[in-house]
Amino acid sequence: MNKHEATLISYKLTIDKKGRVFTERSVSEIDDLEKKLKPIMFNTLKAVIRTAKAELDKIHNKIEADLNGRIQ
C-alpha cells in the first residue's frame, strides 16, 4: 500500500506457533475524513463500512462457532 491509500476495514484469520486459530477485524474511524471528502463519498463510505462490519461479525461468529465445536 502506498502513502496515498488507507485500509478502511480488514479481516484476518490467523494461526500461531501453538496452533491457536483466531480472527481479527479492524475498522478505521473515518470521521476525521468528513471535511476532506465530498458529502456523498463520506456518507457512502460510512454506509459501506457499517454493512461490512455487520457482515464480518456474522462471519466471525460462524468461524468462532466452527472452531469451538472442533476443539471441544
For residue 71, what pLDDT is reported?
A: 60
Give one DSSP letter per residue of 15-72, joined into a string.
E-TT--EEEEEEE---GGGTTTS-HHHHHHHHHHHHHHHHHHHHHHHHHHHHHHHHH-
Q: For residue 4, tell me if it sits in a domain.
A: no
pLDDT in tens, 16-62: 999 888 888 899 999 998 999 999 999 999 999 999 999 999 998 99
Q: For residue 3, tell me if it sits in a domain.
A: no
**How many domains, the chain?**
1
Q: For residue 23, tell me if it sits in a domain.
A: yes
Q: For residue 64, tell me if it sits in a domain.
A: yes
For residue 49, what pLDDT is reported?
A: 95
Nearest to 60 by CA among 11, 10, 16: 11
Indicate if the pLDDT at residue 72 is higher than 60.
no
CA 29 to chain centre: 11
Q: Which domain holds residue 14?
A: 9-71
For residue 39, what pLDDT is reported?
A: 96
Q: For residue 57, tell me if it sits in a domain.
A: yes
Cell of 35: 471535511
For the entire predicted model, the pTM comes to 0.75
For residue 50, what pLDDT is reported?
A: 95
